[in-house]
Amino acid sequence: MPGSDDTGTSGAATGLGRGFRPGRAALVVYLMAGYPDRATSLAALHAAAAAGADVIELGVPYGDPVADGPVIAEAAGVAREGGFGLAETIELAREFLGEPAEGAPPVHGDTGTGHTETPPVALMTYLNPLMRFGLPRAADAMRTAGVSGVIVPDMPPEAARPWLVVAEGLDTVFLAAPTSTPSRFAAIASASSGFVYCVSSTGVTGERATLREGLAGLVEQIRAAATLPVAVGFGVSTPEQAAEVARIADGVVVGSAVVRRQHDPASVGEFVTLLRKALDRAVANET
């Protein structure tokens, strides 16, 4: 199983773990590949990276996104109409990872770590596009493109063997939910590599006014089972919420609130800058 013996050093070299650094809350930014078109989504990727995203979660457009809310589902529909699927998404990632944005400013913040390299990319895809493409072929294409890993919301650990045996060198992030039982936290943690994705609430992705009570306890339970970093997503939509999450988790995933701005890469950059500042402030106030 790739990454299962990950001590944090091998993952830090090439994997998603590189996005998680001590003294800094990782900002995981979700963007939909090919939305509203290829060029704009590429510009949005560069804008997010330049504004301080630590990990990019790149969505693969799919026709039945059962875990996603209306913003991401509609963006997927637009991207699919533009001919976007897994192959096109991998190609987009290859281009993004191959050519860092020119003149990308160093990240704002008081951690002093600097941030000029391109953040690692995880593809967020449903299982069937992977299967249709062919699991070994998909893994090869991702490795060649420089993609660091995948998040597959409809592939629980029990169903992941066929993927994991071909996914050497790629991190596979599994999701833990508020409904997960303690024994499942252990299974999810041991199957995951890169980081563990904590779903903040039941339901689909999308912006929510308030975060679920008991989130801190949930993150603690996952932490107790995992040696990997824990990132929280689903429903995080404002800098204030992101800061709240940064106080209890290693990373914050922001999706729908970014995709809603994705038609305008400049506003993606501005929004990611606000999130970055909020996270850095939250961590600074902690210490």
Partner 1 sequence: MTDPLLPSAELAYSSPDAQGFFGPYGGTFVPETVIPALEELTAAFAEAIADPAFAEEFGTLLEDYIGRPTPLYRADRLAEATGLARVYLKREDLTHTGAHKINNTVGQCLLARRMGKHRVIAETGAGQHGVATATAAALLGLECSVFMGTEDMRRQSLNVYKMRLLGAEVVPVGEGAGTLADAVTAALRHWVERVEDTFYVLGSAVGPHPYPAMVREFQKVIGEETLVQLEGRLERTPDAVVACIGGGSNAIGMFYPFLRALPPGERPLLVGAEAAGLGVETDRHGAALTKGSPGVLHGFYSYLLQDDAGNPLEAYSISAGLDYPGVGPEHSYLKDEGFVRYEAVTDTEALDAFALLTRTEGIIPAIESSHALAMLPRLAAELGPDAVVVVNVSGRGDKDMDIVREAGLGAG
Q: Would residue 68 show up in a list of annotated catalytic residues for this protein?
A: yes
d(CA 256, CA 75): 10
In terms of CB distance, is 73 or 268 closer to partner 1?
A: 73
Q: At 157, list the tokens.
A: 């650990």
Asked if 163 interacts with partner 1 (CB under 8 A), we say no
Stretch that binds partner 1, among 25-33, 37-45, 143-151, 200-208 (CB under 8 A): 200-208
Q: Would residue 110 show up in a list of annotated catalytic residues for this protein?
A: no
Asked if 9 interacts with partner 1 (CB under 8 A), we say no
Asked if 127 interacts with partner 1 (CB under 8 A), we say yes
Q: Evaluate whether 277 touches 108 at the Cβ level (below 8 Å).
A: yes
- Among 15, 52, 119, 153, which residue interacts with partner 1 (rule: CB under 8 A)? 153
Q: How far is the CB of 86 from partner 1 (least distance, A)?
A: 6
Asked if 78 interacts with partner 1 (CB under 8 A), we say no
Within 13 A of 155's CA, how many CA atoms are on the CB side?
23
Residues 37-76 that bind partner 1 (CB under 8 A): 62-64, 66-67, 73
Strand order in the sheet with 55-59: 171-173, 149-151, 121-124, 55-59, 26-32, 251-254, 230-233, 196-199, 175-176
In single-letter form, the type of residue at position 55 comes to V
- Among 7, 181, 210, 287, which residue interacts with partner 1 (rule: CB under 8 A)? 181
DSSP bridge pairs for 232: 198, 252
- Among 156, 216, 264, 274, which residue interacts with partner 1 (rule: CB under 8 A)? 156
Residues in the chain: 287
Secondary structure of 160-199 in HEC code, one letter for each residue: CHHHHCCCCCCEEECEECCCCCHHHHHHHHHHCCCCEEEE
Asked if 202 interacts with partner 1 (CB under 8 A), we say yes
- Known catalytic residues are 57, 68
- Which residues are at the interface with partner 1 (CB under 8 A)? 62-64, 66-67, 73, 80, 85-87, 126-133, 153-156, 158-159, 174-181, 184, 188, 199, 202-204
